[in-house]
Amino acid sequence: MNYVGIDIGSTASKVVVEGDKKEHFVLPTGWSSKETCEKIKNKLLEMGVDVTADDTKVVATGYGRIAVDFADHVITEITCHARGGRELAGGDCSIIDVGGQDTKVIVVQNGMVADFQMNDKCSAGTGKFLEIMANRLGVTINELFDMAAAGEVIPISSLCTVFAESEVINYIGEGKKREDIAAGVVDSVANKVVQLAQKKELGDRVILTGGLSHSIYFTGILSDKLDQKVESEEFGRFAGAYGAALLAREKKDRRR
C-alpha cells in the first residue's frame, strides 16, 4: 500500500508518499491548481505510484485541496499540519506555520488539535509579505534571510503589506543598506507571527513548519520574541503533506 499526502499551498505544492515507497517532492503551484494536480499525478506515476490504483490512498489538503479530484479524502490544512507536526516533534507540541497566504498557530494536546488560530484577511506576517519585499529588494527569499542575518533592524512600522512596501521603497530611496532593510522586513514578519502565537497557550514545545521552517535565523528571532524556544524543522515544509499521508493511512478503513 502507498499513502499519498498532497498539500496544495498558494505558492508551493508539497507531496509526501508513505508506505511501500517513501518519496517527497515540491512543485510550484502556478496559476492553476488543476494543472498542478495533473503534474503531481504524472510525477507520482513516474515514481511508480498510481493514484488511481486500489492500493493507493490519497489525502488532499491546503487551499487547493478541492482541486485534487483523485483524492480519497479532503482534510483541512489545520488537521494535517497538526498530524505531521506531531510526528516531526515526536509528541504533543504547538506548531507555528508560516505559509504563502496563511499563518497559523496550532496547539496539539493528547495527539489532537486542541486549539488553533489563523491570521485575518491580511497578508502581513505571511510568506506573501516576504515574497513582495524580496522582489522589491531584487533577491530571493533565501537571500533575503542571508542578508537580514548580516543587517541591523530598521523598523518597518506598517502592518499592511502595501504600506510596508512603500516604507521599504522610502528606505531604498534614502540609500539605507539592503541588509538593514532585509532585517527590518524579517523582524516585521516575526512580530506579526508572534502576535498571533501569543494568543494561545503554547505549552513546552514549539516547532516551525512551512517554507521558512529550515531557517535557524528565523526560529532564533521567533524564540527571542516569544521568550520560548522555537525549533526549526528540516522537513517542516512538508509537515502538511506528511500529515496528510499519515492520515491517509489512518483513515483507510473509514468511508469518505
Partner 1 sequence: MELIKDLPEVFEEFAEQRQKSFLAVKELKEKGVPVVGSYCTYFPKEIAMAMGAGCVSLCSTSDETIPEAEKDLPKNLCPLIKSSYGFAKTDKCPFFYFSDVVVGETTCDGKKKMYEYMSEFKDVFIMELPNSQREPGLQLWKGEIIRFKEYLEQKFGVTITEEQIREAVKTENQARQSLKKLYEVMKHDPAPIKGQDLFKVLYGSTFKFDRSLIPGEVDALTAKIEKEYAEGKMEEKKPRILITGCPIGGATEKVIRAVEDNGGIVVTFENCSGAKSIDKMVDEDAEDIYDAIARRYLNIGCSVMTPNPNRLELLGRLIDEYQVDGVVDMILQACHTYNVETNTIRKFVTGEKGIPYISVETDYSQADIGQLNTRLAAFVEML
Q: Examine residue 92 and tell whether it contacts partner 1 (CB under 8 A).
A: no
Q: How far apart are CA 76 and CA 16, in angstroms?
A: 16
Given 20, 30, 42, 112, the residue binding partner 1 (CB under 8 A): 112
Is 78 among the residues that bind partner 1 (CB under 8 A)? yes
| Cα gap 117→107, rounded to integer Å | 9
* Stretch touching partner 1 by CB under 8 A, among 17-25, 34-42, 70-78, 89-97: 70-78
Nearer to partner 1, 80 or 190 (CB): 80
**Least separation, in Å, of the C-beta of 222 and partner 1?**
23
Is 243 an interacting residue with respect to partner 1 (CB under 8 A)?
no
Q: Applying CB under 8 A, does 29 fall inside the site for partner 1?
A: no
Burial (CB count <10 Å: 0-12, 13-18, 19+), residue 176 = middle
- 75 scored as a contact of partner 1 (CB under 8 A): yes
Q: Pick the binder of partner 1 from 7, 18, 77, 167 (CB under 8 A).
A: 77
Exposed, middle or buried: residue 19 (CB in 10 Å: 0-12, 13-18, 19+)? middle
37 binds partner 1 (CB under 8 A): no
Q: Measured from the CB atom, is 80 or 183 closer to partner 1? A: 80
Q: Which of residues 115-134 bind partner 1 (CB under 8 A)?
A: 115-116, 118, 120-121
Identity of the residue, 115 or 231, whose beta carbon is nearer to partner 1 in the bound complex: 115
The yes or no reply on residue 63 touching partner 1 (CB under 8 A) is yes
* Smaller CB separation from partner 1, 76 or 177: 76
Query: Is there binding between residue 114 and partner 1 (CB under 8 A)?
Result: yes
Residues lying near partner 1 in the complex (CB under 8 A): 63, 75-79, 112-116, 118, 120-121
